[in-house]
Amino acid sequence: MGFAIRNAKVFDGSGDAPRDGVDVAIEGGRIVDVGVSLAPFDGEDVDADGLALMPGIIDSHTHYDAQVTWDPDLLPSSSLGVTTTVIGNCGFTIAPCRSDDRELVMRNLTQVEGMSLDVLRQGVRWDFESFPAYLDMIESFGTRINVAAFIGHSALRTFVMGEAAVERAANDEELAAMNDIVREAMGAGAIGFATSTAPQHNGAGGLPMPSRLADDREMNMLMGAMASGDRGIFMLTKGERTDVPYLEALCATTNRPVMIAALLHNSTNPTGTFDELKQIADARARGRELWGQVSCCPLTMDFSIRSAYPFESLKAWSPAMKVEPSALSAMLADLNLREAVKAELATPAGVRLFNGEWDKLEVVEVANEDHAHIEGRTIADLAAEAGVHPLDWMLDFAISEELQTVFTAILLNSDQEAVGRMIRDPNASVALSDAGAHLTFFCDAGFGLHLMGHWARDLGVLSLADAIHELTAKPASIFRIPKRGLIRKGYFADLLLFDPEKVDRGPKRRVRDLPGGGPRLTTDGVGLHGVWVNGQMIAQSSGLVPGAVRPGKLLREFDA
């Protein structure tokens, strides 16, 4: 049964100017016609009444790998206009995984992605070991939105090497086994291969995530295995060793696109991101398809000292990640650790989350009501009043509250002019929502609505048509996702109906709907009137359509 969305202001995703009064006819999950005053259909039409209609948002950087096993709705993305999500970024996947390694994989995710171990233990369905079986499970379970999945490097190393994955580079036999698994995963429908060398990516016990132990030979071989079928995208969250020239060389050997994350502006190194974007531009001029993944959101993170993710890329902080919780306060009181952290923060670094900007770090929530008067104040001001170093003030105060104090930090992307330059850069791709991870730290799943509302409508940094192109046809092209990202005849009917005057993301709020009642931060969509996936409505102005609505597809076939 077909239907039409009528009288819409259509932004088709191409970046072209919108067309008013347009009808979009849908049948069998696809767009069958686009025009004015189309013939009636047998289904119930939707009167857009002049609202804007665009392709659904494609979120290319998420971490729903665990959540998808218990939450087919993939909240909150499905309520925020996202119709296609790419999981497995940074290589932090849960497949492949041997039954004996499940606890280790979950503990790694607890550390690197800010997830609750109790939530993971209660929520993850382990009806698989291999990557193909994982995809089959997702497909059989069904999802509200479309899902594409990377084969992830850290899970792959753990599967093949066990505990040695965080101790050394792979030997010849292990490389051969990993090579075969990557080829198998690509044959089963992986979108590509993802990894990380970022110093802030640490797993259980503060040890580096397994991918950080890989040497150049391993990187070359696994990217080659991915590219052996002449398709796939290589995604990497880079560290200092894997700079843009290194990644250009990898690209040259395989002729496959490379997505480089995470290019975030650092106010203490104001030219760094732009220098990297210039290197990417130069590489593209030489025929290498490199992209820099940027964010349109300030990286703002809530945290406690029990799980101080902003500090975990500091080498001096590593002892605090290795002690048992009961010994953490004593460790943080140690003057040697504090002096080492201060010294490291005083030294400029190329890749680091927190850079000693204490004026951008605040007390959000105190544990002791007697301290309520300092909520909302910066660590810089509080330390100045006390006449002590900001690190000492923060740690002493946290210890006095048994490490239950909640802080918030604006870590990166706080310079609005710089972020505006980044999101306009033709060599950049706007993404980095991290949806599905860091659930108690931040929620940027509404990044697309923020791009359209804040950056396009409110600031005029880019046109609404260009913002929509950045969220739809552009990622579909980069990630080789066929027949999505445009409102065109023959394309899948992934659509978003919205009010351009109101569209945005709402304020963050905390809910407790994870397995076992675990908390997470979420946000609501503003100005959304309807979301369709493969021609079926999944969300409306009041939120998700009730019931087990699962029209999403597991995407397995991609363009070359």
Q: CATH code at 437?
A: 3.20.20.140
pLDDT of residue 504: 98
Q: Could you tell me the pLDDT band of residue 352, with boundaries at 50, 70 and 90?
A: confident
Considering the domain architecture, whether residues 420 and 381 belong to the same structural domain is answered as no
pLDDT in tens, 124-154: 999 999 999 999 999 999 999 999 999 999 9
Mean of pLDDT values over 366-390: 97
Residue pair 212/107 in contact (Cβ under 8 Å)? The answer is no
How would you write 443-486 as a 3-class SS string?
Answer: CCCCHHHHHHHHHHHHCCCCCHHHHHHHHCHHHHHHCCCCCCCC
Considering the domain architecture, whether residues 198 and 224 belong to the same structural domain is answered as yes
Residue pair 163/105 in contact (Cβ under 8 Å)? The answer is no
Cα–Cα distance, 347 to 338 (Å, whole number): 15
Helix (H) or strand (E) holding 342: helix 335-345
Query: Which residues in 97-215 belong to E strands, given as ranges?
Result: 146-152, 192-196
Question: Does some domain include residue 402?
Answer: yes
Q: At what angle do helices 172-188 and 153-161 cross, to 10 degrees?
A: 130
* Listed residues 512, 533, 555: the one ending a domain: 512
Domain count, the chain: 2
Whose tokens are 């088709």? That residue is 12
Greater pLDDT, 113 or 422: 422
* Listed residues 409, 427, 460: the one ending a domain: 409
Q: Could you tell me the pLDDT band of residue 29, with boundaries at 50, 70 and 90?
A: very high
pLDDT in tens, 426-477: 999 999 999 999 888 889 999 999 999 999 999 999 999 999 999 999 999 9
Half-sphere exposure at residue 332, Cβ-oriented, CA atoms within 13 angstroms: 26
Strands 495-498 and 52-55: antiparallel
* Listed residues 388, 409, 430: the one ending a domain: 409
Cα–Cα distance, 357 to 411 (Å, whole number): 8
Helix (H) or strand (E) holding 184: helix 172-188
Q: What angle do CA 99, 232, 533 make, to 5 degrees?
A: 80
Task: Tell me the pLDDT of the chain averaged across its residues.
Answer: 96
Residue pair 229/138 in contact (Cβ under 8 Å)? The answer is no
pTM of structure = 0.93
Considering the domain architecture, whether residues 390 and 420 belong to the same structural domain is answered as no
Question: Does some domain include residue 233?
Answer: yes
Nearest Cα neighbor of 219 from 187, 251, 188, 191 is 251
Q: Which domain covers residue 132, as residue numbers?
A: 57-298+413-512
154 forms beta bridges with none
